[in-house]
Structure formats: C-alpha cells, structure tokens
C-alpha cells in the first residue's frame, strides 16, 4: 500500500464525527484533570480507560490521547496560579510562571504556556509521523550504560536551576538524592531507611514530595507572615501574551520541543526532566539570564515546550516497538491490547489504517488543544482573584485530597506535610527547590542503571564507555561541567574585591 | 540573615548530616546481605557516595563563608513580630499533626473542614464568614468529585459516613 | 456518571440516617485494593472483572491502586483493614506466593489473609531475542554453561525473578544464581524491553506480557511452562520437555480479605465470583490476553496458593535465594 492509500484509509477511519468528538472531549477531560493537583494526567487517563472498552479502537485511543495531551497542558494552570504543579511535568513551569502570577501577569504566563504547548505538541506529532521508525531503532540502542551517561548529563541541568549559588543548588540536589534512596534496594531487595514501615518500603511518593516541596511552603510562609502579600497586585491582569513575546521565545520553544522529542522517544525518562532540561538550556542561551526564576516569560515557554514535546514522541516507542515509555503510555498500551491490537513493527503492516488514523487525529489534536486551552484559561482566571487568605486554606485542602488520591494512601499526606517543612526551611535559607526535585527523579535512575551496567559486565567499568552514544554523553557532560566551573570562577572574580 | 551567615549555617549542617549518615544512619538503617561480591554493587555504595559528596559540599560552603566579604544585604524580610510568627508556625505544625491523626478517625471530609477553618483563622483572614462557608463547601465538593466522578475511595470516618 | 451522581445525592439523606446494625452485607461500596500500578497485568485483570463482579455484588466496587514495594504496600493496607469485607485485595502471584517465599523482610505472611477466590491463571513462557541465535532451551542451557547469560525481571521477589532461576534449576544448571546473572528492572514492561535491547539474554514471564512481542516477531518463545500449549506461542510445553515440576510455575490473580474475614462474607464472594465468571464478555476479554479463567472456591484457592508457596519456598531454600535483613 502506498503512502497515499494509507492516508486515505486512515482518513476514512477518523472521518466520522465520533472520532473527533472523542478527541475533543478527551482534551477537555485532560485539561480539567491536569488542572487539579494530584489528579494529574496519569489518573485522568486511567479513569477514562474503561469508557474506551465500548468504543471503536481508533475512537477510544484518540479519546485517551486527547486526555493525555490536555492533561500535560492543564498541569501548567495550577503551577502558574497557585504554585502547585497539576502534573509532575509542569513543575518546571512554576519556576517562572508563579513569579509572573505574583507580578500580576498570570494571564500572560498562561497564554504563553498554551502557545508554547501547542507549538511543541505540533512539532512532537510531526516528529512521530516522520521519524517514528528511525527514532525507535535509536531508542532500542539505549541499554543501561547509555542511560547512565544520559542521566549523568541530565544532572548537569541542576546548575541551570540553582539560582545564584551553585553550592546551595548542589546541597539541594544531594538532599534529593538522599531521600530517593528510601525504599527497597533494586538488586538485593533489602531495606534502606525504611524503619520497617511497609509504607516506606515503596519509597516516598513522587507527587507527594513534589506538592510538598512547592505548594506547602507557600502555605507555611503565609502563616509566618499573613500580610506579606498585601499591596502587591495579584490579578490575572490585563496583560495578554503578545505575538512579540511568542516571537522572542520562539527559538526556545523549538529547542524545547526537540529536547522533548528526543527524551520522549527514549522510554523511561518522562516529561519532567525534559521540561527542566529545556528550561535550563533556554536560560543558558538567553540574554536575560538574570531574570530567569524571577518571572521571565521565556522560561515558561521553554518549560512548557519541553514537556509537551514529549507527548507525541512517547508514542514512538509505543507504536513502533510496543514499549511504553511511562505510566500513561502503559495505560494506552492496555487500551490497544483490549481492542486486540498489538503495537509493534507488525502493526505498521497489519493495521496501517489505524496508524494513519492516529496520525491524522494527533495533528488535529494540537488545534483542539489550542481551542480548549484558550477557554480553560478564561475559566480558571478567577482563581487569581480569590483573596489569598481564603485561597491558601483551599490549596491545603485540595492538596490533601489530591495527594491521597494519587496512591490511595494517607501516609502520602504525611509525606507531603513533612516535605512542606523541609521546603519551607529551604525557602528561608535560599536553597532552590528545583535541584532537589530533579535529583529525586533522576537519582534512582542513575543508581539503577549504574548497577545494571555493573551486573551486565561483571563490574567491569569499561562498559560505561561501550559505544558512540555513551561517548557523546560523556563528552557533553565534561564540556558542560567545564563551562559551569569557568563561569563560576569568572563570576567570583567579578564579585570578589581582592 | 545575610548570605554569609547562611553559608556558615548550611556548611555546618551539611557536614553534620554527612557525619551522621556515615557513622550512624547508614550502618544502622541500611541493610546489606552478607554475600555481596563487589563493593560497587552493594546497597551501601550509593548512600555512602551521596554522604561523602554532602560532606564535600559542606566543606565548600565553609570555604565560601570564609571568602565572602561581610555585607549588609539581608535575605528574607523579617516579620513584624517574630514571637507571634513563631507561635503561628507552631500552630500550623499542630494543625498538620492533628490532621494526620484525625484523618483515619473522622474521615477526610470532616477533617479537612476543621483544617480549613483553623488555617484560615491562623492567617487571620479578613473574610471570616466566607472562610466558614468555604470550609464546609470546598471539602464536600472535592469529596463529590473525587469519590463519585473520579471513583477514589476517600477515607470515611468511624462516625458519620457520606454516601 | 451523571446517573451515579444523582443517585448518590438522592440517597445521601437516607444513608446519613440509616441504621447500620442489621443491614445485610454489602450495604455500601466495597473498596478493592490493587497493589500494583495502573496499566499492569493485575490492574487490567482487576478492572476487567470489576464490571461483571459489580453487577453480581449489586454495590459499586471502588478500585484503588496502592502501589509500592512489589505489591507489599497495598497488601499491608488490606492486612490492617477491618475484616468487615469492605476492603478486599486483588492478590497476585508475586505479592502472595513468590514474595512470601523469598522475603523474610516482608511485613506480612500468607496467614494474614483469607482468600475468597483465585479466578485467573496465566501461563508462563520463556523468551529470547531472535538476534541472540538461541532457538531452544537446550541451546540456552549450553550458553549458560559457557557463561555470560543473564535474565531480566520486574524486581527482587517477583515471579520473573524466581521463574528464571527455577527454569535453569530444572534443566540441571548447577548453582543457577551464579551461572546466570539476574538483572532486575523497575517493572514488567522494562523487563521485556531489557531482552529486546540486549541488556539481558532471556526472560520468563506471563504469556500475556509477551504476547505482543511474540506476535510482532521481536521475541522468540522457547518454553511454555504449562502442560497445554498456549495459542500464539510456538514453543515446547513443560510436558513436551518432560519437566512436570514447571507446571507449578504459573501466574494467578485472586481476591483476598484480612485473615479474620467472617465465613458468610467469604461465602458471598464465592457466589458472586461464580456469577461474574459466567459473563461471556469477561471470559472473552481475558482469554484473548492468554489467561485461563478458572474460578476456585475459597478452599481450593487456599490449597492452590499454599501448594505453590511451599514448592517455591523449598526451591528458594535449596538455591539460597532468601532475602534477610
């Protein structure tokens, strides 16, 4: 079958109202679900799954994809408005989105988040359609040694989100690494810092840590000084994002999209590291470096481009190899299987009409996302007008419900509170929270892949340098570290009057 | 508090954490089977690495403190009244502990109502009536959403169960 | 959804005042704990049976994924729950026969649960990557004796972990723990990927987890542990190979409550399961994924699990796989 035939076959599959309705409805569910902290895109997708059983395969899968894409964008809404990421992928959006909201420019930040999300989404979908086969075979060449090198490189992002002191950033990252060791050991199954508690054996829940670290310190800070916000304008603001903003951030958006496509096509990394990497790259390249973290619109654009760039690309290993890249794609894989479809190389031969139907649906989804997102921003803007001392207890209650719902476990609410006090301590001592979070995500991956490499080779370290991919990331890591050290020393010479 | 004093405090803290981990926490709270062949594969290897790095960062923070010239630039605007502010922090901590204790007994909805009201009054809200109304309505709305739309088994207490 | 909501609101006033003392079980929704994550084998199985089962029960079943520690976190929730039949567990082979057999550190034992049924059996298959050049178990064993063979699993104490060692042991490999390297991964999907990309040599896991890779020609099955062949898996069975002991090596999903679950509640569940498993739609969906539907009575389920546990435990002690401390 030629490409044209496949396209036509795909078109005939999706050319009914229901497929598009499902996609549109999915995006609405996703945006709302993503906007509720703790609900997250993952849970929204899991909840929608049973409804797809009765639908046509293509309609059902488009519904789930809609929820996924909507959810990733929806997460940025509470991240910007109340400093609580609705979905882990949007934690990088907080860094500049919340300061913008504090300055009374929430509308501008939300608008930019939407524009960047849709652009990145489109690029990601195009990458899926054009390079799926190629990127999938590339993803398969990632074994533990390659992952180790990639993650080591990704940890250099920490320098980009450390703010004004690299040392405090490093300390924050080390605390993240340390807390991530709680749980059962991967290789031997023994206890590490679990104190015999079955709740601790599973490790600290990521979302509980995330919300605890960002949202709860805001609450405690308000308790410390209940009137600090008075006199500051904190409204959605008349300011809307302008085409000028978009043009200025366009390079960062495209760069972030490609970072997202790259990390998304490799199973197991996920959207949050991609958003942080995109953010720190944007900061590194920007002339307004100093303003990042204090309300720079380009930071919001980069972070959102980074996480939405992942959304289309995670389908690459899913469709081409049958390998899910994260929990959400694992659920979508379940939906394929329930309909008797088996993603993998053969699907491109046997069910090529479904593949092309999905491609067409995905392209349309970027446009739908823009429409739904614009409406959602207008709907949620009233949050910014709620008196802060009513909003804060509301956020507390919302976080309690949301964090419980993630894993149906009251213990996680306790983890969130404890993390809140740690986060507040860090806030008071100007220790940035973002490095902690990145280390908490990447630390276990780094350790696991290191030990898996050692198991593979019988503790022969040369396996960590076994091929061009590892060499590339080792080189990139060394170059980045040299650049960081040089700029730190240069900065010190400037500030030290000796 | 200036950047200089922060560096001193954090340096001390990092060193203390590092020593505590290396000499106490890891030997006692991380178990490792006796038949581990290679050091790099041991469950202890990674925690020790992190602890050592923490110590290193602590020492570097010390050096940073040593080298930073004293400035008057202050971080964190002080609260008007530190004593009452501290009391309020303590109050928040008590609210959190009580919330955790009451959650399994009263159920999530009733506990959250209490947490909402107490937090709102702790931050001296200017809208007490609105606060009370919100305290009742918001947890109920969240309950209806999570329990009946999202299908989550929100914890119910031993006393009054919601449908 | 809307109906459910309206109904819920309508009954709110009633429920608040209704007396609970004489009501018949179940008089409110039942919380079903799934100790593994969304999208996994247990989750899909649980959510598939939830539909016919909910109809049989007559009250909603609320599905709660409580993940962590290889199923232990969720299992403990049910272990500590009130034995009133309103908190039940979807137990799985990993959490309730391999882990108890292997881990001294586990916060529960089999005696902490009362099984009301086992409803699904999943055959286990071993597979290798076609590019490995291995075509049969004998060739794999030959490679093991040369050295450098590894197998992947979804973690310590999982079915996959035990299965790899058990199969090698059955084929006469001396000291399988050192002859082949166990490379644990973070989950079942990752374990299969590890064989795809050459990180590990082989994997032994449920056929449902391998089906799509086998259909796509990405993995090559070399053994099925059931006596009967499995559709879509062109590989010798344990009967063909003359290894009947491997028939113990199957996955299963069942439902359990806390140890003190009253008899009448357990009996109710037996009834409901009989009705639910008769649902043709459910049977079709499960068999399509390679499961065998076989609803056991509470007594049969207990014997079945106990037997599997004993044989696993004997193997663990023989090979020295027990996890202490």
**Over the stretch A353-406, which tens digit does the pLDDT of each residue have?**
888 888 888 889 999 999 999 999 888 877 777 888 888 898 899 889 988 988
Length of chain A: 498
Dump pLDDT digits (tens) for C21-36. Answer: 445 888 888 999 999 8
Subunit contact A202:C181, Cβ cutoff 8 A: no
pLDDT of A245 strictly over 90? no
- Write down the pLDDT at residue B48: 94
Subunit contact B33:C325, Cβ cutoff 8 A: yes
- Write down the pLDDT at residue C17: 41
Please give the average per-residue pLDDT across B140-161, as a whole number: 85
Please give the average per-residue pLDDT across C213-231, as a whole number: 90
A224 to chain B, minimum CA–CA distance in Å?
5
**Range scoring the smallest mean pLDDT among A5-9, A393-397, A457-461:** A5-9
C47 to chain B, minimum CA–CA distance in Å?
13
**Range scoring the smallest mean pLDDT among A154-158, A301-305, A359-363, B129-133:** A154-158
Please give the average per-residue pLDDT across A333-346, as a whole number: 78
Best of C207, C212, C284 to mutate (most A CBs within 10 Å, chain A): C212
- Whether residue C109 is found in the same domain as residue C194: no
pLDDT of A5 strictly over 80? no
Dump pLDDT digits (tens) for B116-126. Answer: 999 999 988 88
**Range scoring the smallest mean pLDDT among A133-142, A400-409, B109-118:** A133-142
- Write down the pLDDT at residue C12: 46
End-to-end CA separation in angstroms for chain A: 74
Q: Which domain holds residue C77?
A: 30-122+251-319
Other beta carbons within 10 Å of C229:
15
pLDDT band with cut points at 50, 70 and 90 for residue A298 = very high
pLDDT of B115 strictly over 50? yes
Neighbours of chain C (3+ CB pairs under 8 A): A, B
- Whether residue C241 is found in the same domain as residue C130: yes
Nearest chain C residue (CA) to B163? C12
- Nearest CB to A144; choose among C72, C199, C289: C199
- Whether residue C239 is found in the same domain as residue C303: no
Q: Which residue has the higher pLDDT, B19 or A268?
A: B19
- Nearest CB to C31; choose among B153, B160, B161: B153
Selected residues 86-125 of chain A with any CB under 8 Å from a CB in chain C: none
Q: Is residue C61 part of a domain?
A: yes
Other beta carbons within 10 Å of C317:
11
Please give the average per-residue pLDDT across A13-39, as a whole number: 85
- Whether residue C168 is found in the same domain as residue C308: no
Subunit contact B152:A496, Cβ cutoff 8 A: no
pLDDT band with cut points at 50, 70 and 90 for residue A236 = low
Query: Which of A101, A72, A100 minimizes the C-alpha distance to A88?
Result: A72
- Nearest CB to B161; choose among C4, C15, C324: C15
Cβ-Cβ pairs closer than 8 A, A with C, add up to 147
Nearest chain C residue (CA) to A141? C197
Subunit contact A202:C73, Cβ cutoff 8 A: yes
- For the record, the structure tokens of B6 come out as 């922060």
Please give the average per-residue pLDDT across A421-428, as a whole number: 93
Dump pLDDT digits (tens) for A249-290. Answer: 999 999 999 999 988 888 877 888 899 999 988 988 888 888
Q: Where are the domains of chain A?
A: 3-495
Please give the average per-residue pLDDT across C4-32, as a whole number: 58
- Write down the pLDDT at residue C15: 44
Subunit contact B154:A220, Cβ cutoff 8 A: no
pLDDT band with cut points at 50, 70 and 90 for residue C200 = very high
pLDDT band with cut points at 50, 70 and 90 for residue A26 = very high
Query: Which of A213, A424, A99 minimizes the C-alpha distance to B88?
Result: A424
Please provide residue C163's backbone torsions phi and psi, each rounded to the nearest 5 degrees.
Answer: -60, -45
By the CB < 8 Å criterion, does A323 face chain B? no
ipTM of the complex: 0.93
Instruction: For chain C, list residues whose CB is within 8 angstroms of any CB belonging to chain B.
Output: 1, 4-5, 8-9, 11-12, 15-16, 28-29, 31, 62-64, 323-325
**Range scoring the smallest mean pLDDT among A266-275, B84-93, B104-113, C118-127:** A266-275
Subunit contact C182:A455, Cβ cutoff 8 A: yes
- Write down the pLDDT at residue A422: 95
CATH number of residue C147's parent domain: 3.40.190.10
- For the record, the structure tokens of C150 come out as 């590894």
Dump pLDDT digits (tens) for C35-56. Answer: 988 777 888 889 889 889 989 9
Non-local (6+) Cβ contacts of B23 within 8 A are none
- Write down the pLDDT at residue B72: 63
Please give the average per-residue pLDDT across A179-187, as a whole number: 91
Rounded Cα–Cα distance for residues A217 and A416 (Å): 10
pLDDT band with cut points at 50, 70 and 90 for residue C19 = very low
Rounded Cα–Cα distance for residues A273 and A151 (Å): 10
pTM: 0.86
pLDDT of A107 strictly over 50? yes
Q: Is residue C4 part of a domain?
A: no
Instruction: Return mean pLDDT, chain A.
Output: 86
C6 to chain A, minimum CA–CA distance in Å?
19
Q: Is residue C6 part of a domain?
A: no
Q: Is residue C14 part of a domain?
A: no
Q: Which residue has the higher pLDDT, A132 or C137?
A: C137
Subunit contact A392:B67, Cβ cutoff 8 A: no
Number of Cα atoms under 13 Å in the Cβ half of residue A391: 18
Neighbours of chain B (3+ CB pairs under 8 A): A, C
Q: Give percent of chain A above pLDDT 70.
A: 94
- Whether residue C195 is found in the same domain as residue C270: no
- Whether residue C230 is found in the same domain as residue C190: yes
Rounded Cα–Cα distance for residues C221 and C233 (Å): 6
Dump pLDDT digits (tens) for C84-131. Answer: 899 999 999 999 999 999 998 899 999 999 999 999 999 999 999 999
Please give the average per-residue pLDDT across C169-193, as a whole number: 89
How many structural domains does chain C have? 2
Q: Which residue has the higher pLDDT, C278 or B74?
A: C278
Instruction: Among C248, C283, C308, give the residue marking a domain's end.
Output: C248
Please provide residue A203's backbone torsions phi and psi, each rounded to the nearest 5 degrees.
Answer: 80, 165
pLDDT of B73 strictly over 70? no
Please provide residue C201's backbone torsions phi and psi, each rounded to the nearest 5 degrees.
Answer: -85, -45
Subunit contact C62:B163, Cβ cutoff 8 A: no
- Whether residue C44 is found in the same domain as residue C184: no
Q: Which residues of A touch B130 (CB under 8 A)?
A: 387, 390
Instruction: Return mean pLDDT, chain B.
Output: 87
- Write down the pLDDT at residue B31: 85
- Whether residue C187 is found in the same domain as residue C239: yes
Rounded Cα–Cα distance for residues C209 and C289 (Å): 9
Nearest chain C residue (CA) to A463? C199
């Amino acid at each position: 079958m030629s490409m044209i035939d496949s396209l036509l076959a795909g078109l005939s599959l999706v050319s009914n109202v229901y497929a598009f309705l499902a996609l549109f409805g999915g995006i609405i569910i996703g945006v709302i679900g993503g906007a509720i902290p703790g609900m997250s895109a993952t849970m929204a997708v899991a909840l929608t799954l049973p409804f797809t059983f009765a639908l046509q395969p293509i309609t059902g899968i488009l519904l789930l994809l809609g929820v996924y894409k909507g959810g990733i964008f929806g997460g940025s809404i509470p991240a910007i408005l109340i400093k609580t990421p609705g979905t882990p992928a949007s934690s990088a959006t907080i860094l500049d989105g919340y300061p913008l909201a504090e300055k009374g420019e929430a509308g501008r930040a939300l608008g930019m988040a939407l524009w960047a999300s849709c652009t990145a989404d489109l690029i990601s979908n195009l990458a899926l359609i054009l390079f799926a086969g190629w990127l999938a075979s590339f993803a398969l060449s990632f074994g533990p040694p390659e992952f180790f090198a990639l993650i080591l490189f990704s940890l250099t992002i920490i320098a980009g989100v450390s703010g004004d002191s690299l040392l405090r950033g490093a300390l924050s990252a080390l605390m993240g690494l340390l807390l991530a060791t709680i749980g059962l050991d991967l290789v031997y199954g023994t206890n590490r810092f679990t104190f015999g508690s079955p709740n601790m054996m599973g490790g600290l829940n990521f979302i509980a840590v995330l919300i605890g670290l960002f949202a709860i310190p805001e609450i405690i800070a308000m308790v410390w000084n209940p009137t600090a916000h008075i006199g500051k304008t904190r409204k959605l603001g008349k300011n809307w994002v302008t085409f000028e903003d978009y043009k200025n951030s366009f390079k960062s958006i495209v760069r972030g999209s490609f970072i997202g496509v790259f990390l998304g096509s490799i199973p197991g990394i996920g959207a949050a590291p991609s958003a942080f990497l995109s953010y720190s790259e944007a900061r590194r390249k920007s002339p307004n470096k100093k303003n990042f973290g204090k309300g720079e619109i380009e930071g919001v654009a980069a972070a959102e481009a980074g996480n939405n760039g992942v959304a289309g690309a995670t389908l690459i290993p899913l469709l081409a190899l049958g390998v899910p890249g994260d929990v959400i794609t694992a659920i979508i894989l379940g939906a394929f299987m329930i309909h008797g479809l088996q993603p993998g190389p053969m699907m491109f031969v046997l069910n090529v009409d479904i593949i092309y139907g999905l491609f067409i649906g995905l392209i349309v989804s970027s446009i739908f996302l823009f429409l739904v997102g614009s409406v959602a921003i207008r709907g949620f803007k009233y949050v910014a007008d709620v008196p802060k001392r009513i909003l804060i207890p509301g956020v507390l209650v919302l976080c309690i419900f949301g964090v419980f719902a993630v894993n149906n476990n009251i213990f996680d609410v306790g983890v969130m509170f404890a993390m809140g006090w740690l986060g507040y301590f860090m806030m008071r001592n100007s220790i940035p929270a973002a490095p902690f979070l990145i280390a908490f995500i990447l630390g276990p991956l780094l350790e696991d892949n290191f030990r898996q490499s050692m198991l593979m080779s019988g503790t022969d370290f040369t396996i960590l340098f076994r091929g061009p991919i590892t060499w590339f990331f080792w080189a990139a890591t060394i170059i980045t570290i040299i650049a960081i050290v040089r700029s730190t020393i240069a900065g010190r010479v400037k500030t030290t009057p000796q | 508090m200036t950047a200089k004093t922060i560096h001193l405090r954090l340096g001390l803290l990092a060193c203390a954490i590092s020593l505590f981990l290396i000499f106490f926490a890891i030997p006692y709270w991380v178990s490792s089977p006796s038949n581990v062949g290679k050091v790099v594969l041991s469950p202890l290897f990674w925690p020790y690495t992190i602890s050592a790095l923490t110590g290193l960062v602590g020492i570097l923070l010390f050096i940073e403190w040593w080298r930073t010239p004293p400035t008057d630039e202050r971080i964190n605007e002080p609260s008007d009244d530190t004593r009452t502010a501290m009391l309020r922090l303590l109050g928040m901590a008590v609210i959190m502990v009580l919330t955790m204790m009451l959650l399994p007994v009263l159920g999530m909805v009733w506990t959250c109502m209490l947490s909402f009201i107490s937090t709102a009054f702790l931050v001296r809200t200017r809208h007490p009536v609105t606060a009370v109304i919100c305290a009742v309505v918001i947890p109920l709305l969240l309950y209806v959403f999570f329990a009946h739309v999202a299908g989550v088994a929100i914890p119910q207490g031993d006393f009054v169960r919601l449908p | 959804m809307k109906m459910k909501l309206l109904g819920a609101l309508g009954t709110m006033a009633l429920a608040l005042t209704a007396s609970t003392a004489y009501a018949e079980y179940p008089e409110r929704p039942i919380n079903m704990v799934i100790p593994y994550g969304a999208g996994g084998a247990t989750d899909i199985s649980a959510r598939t049976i939830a539909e016919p089962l909910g109809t049989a029960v007559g009250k909603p079943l609320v599905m709660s994924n409580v993940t962590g520690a290889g199923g232990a976190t969720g299992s403990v929730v049910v272990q500590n729950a009130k034995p009133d039949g309103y908190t039940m567990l979807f137990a799985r082979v990993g959490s309730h026969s391999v882990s108890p057999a292997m881990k001294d550190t586990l916060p529960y034992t089999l005696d902490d649960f009362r099984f009301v049924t086992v409803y699904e059996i999943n055959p286990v298959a071993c597979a290798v990557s076609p590019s490995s050049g291995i075509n049969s178990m004998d060739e794999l064993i030959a490679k093991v004796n040369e050295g450098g063979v590894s197998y992947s699993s979804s973690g310590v104490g999982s079915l996959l972990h035990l299965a790899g060692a058990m199969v090698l042991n059955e084929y006469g490999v001396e000291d399988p723990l050192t002859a082949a390297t166990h490379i644990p991964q973070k989950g079942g999907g990752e374990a299969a990927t590890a064989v795809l990309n050459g990180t590990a040599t082989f994997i032994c896991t449920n056929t449902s987890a391998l089906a799509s890779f086998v259909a796509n020609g990405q993995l090559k099955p070399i053994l099925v542990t059931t006596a009967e062949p499995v559709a879509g898996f062109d590989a010798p069975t344990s009967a063909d190979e003359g290894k009947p002991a491997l028939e113990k090596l199957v996955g299963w999903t069942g439902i359990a409550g806390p140890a003190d679950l009253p008899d009448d509640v357990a009996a109710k569940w037996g009834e409901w399961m009989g009705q639910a498993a008769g649902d043709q739609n459910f049977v079709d969906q499960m068999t399509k994924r390679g499961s065998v539907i076989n609803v056991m009575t509470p007594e049969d389920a207990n014997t079945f699990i106990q037997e599997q546990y004993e044989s696993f435990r004997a193997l663990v002690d023989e090979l020295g796989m027990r996890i202490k401390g």
